[in-house]
């Protein structure tokens, strides 16, 4: 009885963890640049003397789906979408380097180019990008930032910096708790000139909302099955105890 109970309990626990990951994905189905989290589990037989009769579910490290999401046109000068594979380098709150696909950028009152979450966007030199006062700001396909100084003609565009665009090996990437992408070894990726942007556009989340809803229903049913097994184990235990009293 105890074998059945603990196996069912471990399964129910992992279903709850998977449901939490799936719910977070569904909540971010419309978040710009969001990468879908993956719940990974593995069967673990219980080692010991005797036959291997117990197999438990064990959560592995959480994975992430790095496939591109849908691109939508916005027409806004500071909106950019990474074309194909690649990332925009940003400075995290601790001063380190991280990567994102969220290209809804803005310029602060102090002239810093930042993401919607307020993270400074890095240039090819690795330093945060500062944009001088300008009548217009343009971002090119290669990440070049050009400004039109106040009072100048449209032909007087001046290049001020270039967004650091990178494309490291995906096997080296992981997603942290804040949703930023980082290198596993803690290193920084080098700029990659092959990465291009699509100005006036944004890449949306790569979460399939319909698939996430189906997963939610499936996980709920699997959780119910595990709970039902625990109830059956309880009934078997009660029946066994009654038999022992009779004898």
CA atoms within 13 A on the CB side of 41: 17
CA atoms within 13 A on the CB side of 132: 10
Q: What is the pLDDT of residue 51?
A: 64
> 105 and 121 in contact (C-beta within 8 Å)?
yes
Write out the DSSP string of 115-163. Answer: -TT-PBBBBTTSSBPB----SEEEE-TTSEEEEE-TT--TT--EEEEEB
Q: What is the pLDDT of residue 159?
A: 92
Helix (H) or strand (E) holding 227: helix 209-246
Q: What is the pLDDT of residue 40?
A: 76
pTM of this structure? 0.81
- 8: three-class secondary structure by DSSP: helix
Of 91, 106, 104, 103, the residue nearest 137 (C-alpha): 106
Give the C-alpha distances (Å, rounded to integers) separating 53 from 7, 20, 44, 174. 10, 29, 11, 35
Residues in the chain, pLDDT under 70:
1-3, 46-48, 50-54, 56, 58-61, 246-247
- 223: three-class secondary structure by DSSP: helix
Q: Residue 38's beta-bridge partner residues? A: 63
Angle (CA) 182-86-159 rounded to 5° is 105
Cα 63 to Cα 173: distance, rounded to the nearest angstrom: 10
CB atoms within 10 A of CB 30: 10
Checking phi first, is residue 46 left (phi over 0); if not, alpha (psi -120 to 50) or beta?
beta
Residues with Cβ < 8 Å from 20, sequence gap 6 or more? none
Q: What is the pLDDT of residue 24?
A: 92
Of 127, 151, 154, the residue nearest 138 (C-alpha): 154
CB atoms within 10 A of CB 89: 22
- 107: three-class secondary structure by DSSP: strand
**Looking up tokens 């910096």, which residue turns up?**
161
Q: What is the pLDDT of residue 235?
A: 74
Q: What is the pLDDT of residue 207?
A: 95
């Amino acid at each position: 009885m105890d074998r059945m109970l603990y196996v069912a309990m471990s399964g129910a626990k992992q279903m709850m963890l998977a449901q939490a990951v799936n719910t977070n994905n569904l909540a971010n189905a419309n978040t710009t640049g969001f990468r879908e989290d993956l719940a990974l589990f593995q069967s673990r037989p219980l080692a010991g003397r005797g036959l291997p009769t117990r197999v438990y579910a064990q959560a592995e490290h959480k994975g992430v789906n790095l496939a591109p999401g849908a691109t939508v046109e916005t027409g806004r000068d500071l909106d950019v979408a990474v074309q194909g594979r690649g990332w925009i380098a940003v400075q995290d709150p601790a001063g380190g380097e991280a990567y994102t696909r969220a290209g809804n950028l803005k310029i602060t009152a102090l002239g810093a180019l930042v993401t919607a979450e307020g993270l400074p966007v890095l240039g090819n030199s690795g330093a945060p990008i500062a944009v001088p006062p300008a009548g217009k700001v343009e971002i090119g396909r290669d990440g070049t930032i050009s400004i039109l100084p106040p009072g100048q003609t449209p032909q007087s565009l001046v290049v001020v910096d270039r967004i650091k665009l990178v494309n490291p090996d995906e096997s080296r990437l992981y997603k942290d708790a804040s949703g930023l992408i980082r290198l596993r070894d803690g290193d920084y990726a080098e700029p990659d000139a092959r990465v291009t942007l699509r100005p006036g556009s944004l890449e949306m989340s790569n979460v399939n909302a319909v698939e996430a809803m189906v997963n939610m229903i499936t996980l709920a049913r699997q959780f119910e099955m595990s709970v039902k097994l625990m109830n059956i184990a309880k009934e078997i235990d009660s029946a066994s105890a009654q038999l022992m009293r009779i004898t």
